[in-house]
Amino acid sequence: MNQLKKFGKMLSIVLMLSMVMQLALPIHLTTVANAATVAVNPKKVTLEVGKTKILKVTGTKVKAIWKSSNVKVATVSKTGLVTAKQAGKATITATVKTKKYICIVTVKDVKKNNPLVNAAPFKAQAVTSGAISYIVPSNWNKTETEANGYKQIVLIPKTAEAAGKSSNIALILSNLKSPIDSATLESLYKEVTTDALVSQFAQAGMEVTISNLTVNSYKTELGLGYVTQYDLNYSGTAMKQVIYGIYTNKHFIQITVTDINDNLSPDVKQVADYLLKTIQVSE
């Protein structure tokens, strides 16, 4: 019973995180997650040679001074743009007044001939987030943050970042101390109702309407799986959300697909289907 209550609380939290984060821009998510303290975001990053990543200092308006411990491995510009040079590790330091904040950068050689990338129905790239790897379109960006003990990733087309609203995919990752059995999951998902979801949004200050809710188990080679889907209307925008919950022996992975019917190319459903087909977990 204790396990049921404890995991039920976690499921409620990540459902709320996933649904709400889908309705906000990545920059909003970053601000909420890190507003309380000054920090470099992200604190760890892995890049392939030639790739770049923008680091940000959150929690302050004071301009940071950036420095790399090993410019042969990774350089950093005055604006926090990290460029991967060669395989190895480097520490990127942001100095704000007299205090220092660091990000550990790991640079890896470029992976070649990934068959999953080559087989994608769109021009694709391989992406790694924590213990998982997956395939997404090459013209999509990843925004990754840590909040409430969970790793959160928003995947969104590069062209949509300026527009501020787009169909998108979000992932939430968490470690499990022990595997969750099917009976426990069945009990938990029976509590996912339309009223419960609307109430969770209301607690976040968001007035929504939800219809056509379905909750079902589904087959996945990674472990136990559940899929929750519904139609949602928020601030005059109609959308469909599909939330996949995947439970391996050591990890909980939640993938939320939000479709606002904006005719993306490739279509967000096609992107999600291939991501689910190719996702790999390092246990």
- All structural domains of the chain with their residue ranges: 2-35+110-281, 50-109
Cis preceding-peptide flag for 266 (omega within 30 of 0): yes
CB 89 within 8 A of CB 73: yes
Handedness of CA 269, 274, 277, 278 (dihedral sign): negative
Whether this model's pTM surpasses 0.85: no
In CATH, the number for domain 50-109 is 2.60.40.1080
Tens-of-pLDDT digits for all 283 residues of the chain? 444 444 444 444 445 545 444 443 333 333 334 345 889 999 999 999 999 999 999 989 899 999 999 999 999 999 999 999 999 999 999 999 999 999 999 999 887 778 899 999 999 999 988 889 999 999 998 888 887 778 888 898 887 755 557 889 999 898 888 888 899 889 889 888 999 888 888 887 888 899 999 999 988 989 999 999 999 998 888 999 999 999 999 999 999 999 988 888 899 999 999 999 999 998 7
CA distance 61 to 161: 22
Peptide bond between residue 137 and the one before it cis (omega within 30 degrees of 0) = no
The whole-angstrom separation of Cα 198 and Cα 55 is: 35
Radius of gyration of the chain from Cα atoms?
A: 19
Per DSSP, the three-state class of 176 is: coil
Q: How many CB atoms lie within 10 A of CB 138?
A: 13
Please tell me the CATH code under which domain 2-35+110-281 is placed.
Answer: 3.40.1000.10
